[in-house]
Amino acid sequence: MAKQPAIILIRPQLGENIGKAARAMLNFGLVDLRLVAPRDGWPNPDAGPSAAGAGSVIDSARVYETVEAAVADCTHVYATTVRDRDMPKPVVSASEAAKQMKVLISGGEQPAIMFGPERSGMTNDDVALADTVLTIPVNPDYGSLNLAQAVILAAYEFHRENDTSPAFQPAHPEGLAAKEEIVGLMKHLEDELSAKGFFRSEGRKGTQVRTIRNLIQNAGFSSQEVQTLRGIVKSLARGRPE
């Protein structure tokens, strides 16, 4: 498996939150969970149920007494905060941290992302061990981000940075209708409309036809949809069944 950031929870209080953090990690493929002095000891029976299928992350979690021990093998450590800590550290967005970690990992380094306890957050001593502060730009008037939510945003950003799926896929992966089919639909509709007297004057017909052709063109129909529409035009145009 390619290297990935370790997720370090410092003095987490609730087993339930550890479980939810594990679930958040696995959602985006992260599995290296480290716990520093969890308040209620370890293992914690509340962690498993909240992990909801991410039990493997809980089972392989490593526990340390100190932050120093948890980061011992790491070469670049991020401290996650939602507020400016005024520490003499560079501060990066979660997105920028993800870009940095991708480069660090490709150079063989081991990054880690630290998260503080639920209520109090990290102490300045905890942050002093970090290379960089990772900040999540929450609503300044609210900013009550819980532990698992902070973890999922960091994990999501790392995953997104390494994700190769396209940012955009067209509506019809099998392709749009060929212009021949589109023009066939246009002409079919125009012929039926002419027969019904839709075009009041030859003078305005040009403009009306152009409006309809643009409308059909811009809709981005597939072949199948053009067939459906031709059936609809045919059905609407014919006389009511006796």
- Angle between helices 223-237 and 179-195 in degrees, nearest 10: 10
> Minimum Å distance from CB 64 to a copy of itself?
26
Beta-carbon count within 10 A of 196 CB:
10
Smallest CA-to-CA distance from 148 within 57, 238, 70 is with 57
Site for a copy of itself in 125-144 (CB under 8 A): 136-139, 142-144
Say how far apart CA 123 and CA 82 lie, in whole Å.
13
Q: Residues 6 or more apart from 15 whose CB is under 8 A from it?
A: 38, 40, 44, 45, 46, 47, 50
DSSP letter at 165 equals S
Work out which of 62, 85, 102, 172 binds a copy of itself, going by CB under 8 A. Answer: 172
**Min. distance of Cβ 179 from a copy of itself in angstroms?**
19
The answer to the question of residue 26 lying near a copy of itself (CB under 8 A) is yes
Q: Please give the size of the binding site for a copy of itself, defined by CB under 8 A.
A: 44
Query: If residue 150 lies in a helix (H) or strand (E), which one and from where to where?
Result: helix 147-162
* Number of C-beta neighbours around residue 135 at 10 A: 20
Minimum distance of a copy of itself from residue 232's CB (angstroms): 16
Does 29 bind a copy of itself (CB under 8 A)? Our answer is: yes
Is residue 149 within the footprint of a copy of itself (CB under 8 A)?
yes
**Residue 52 in contact with a copy of itself, rule: CB under 8 A:** yes
Binding site for a copy of itself (CB under 8 A): 23-24, 26-29, 52-54, 88-93, 95-96, 136-139, 142-146, 148-149, 152-153, 156, 159-160, 163, 165-172, 222, 225
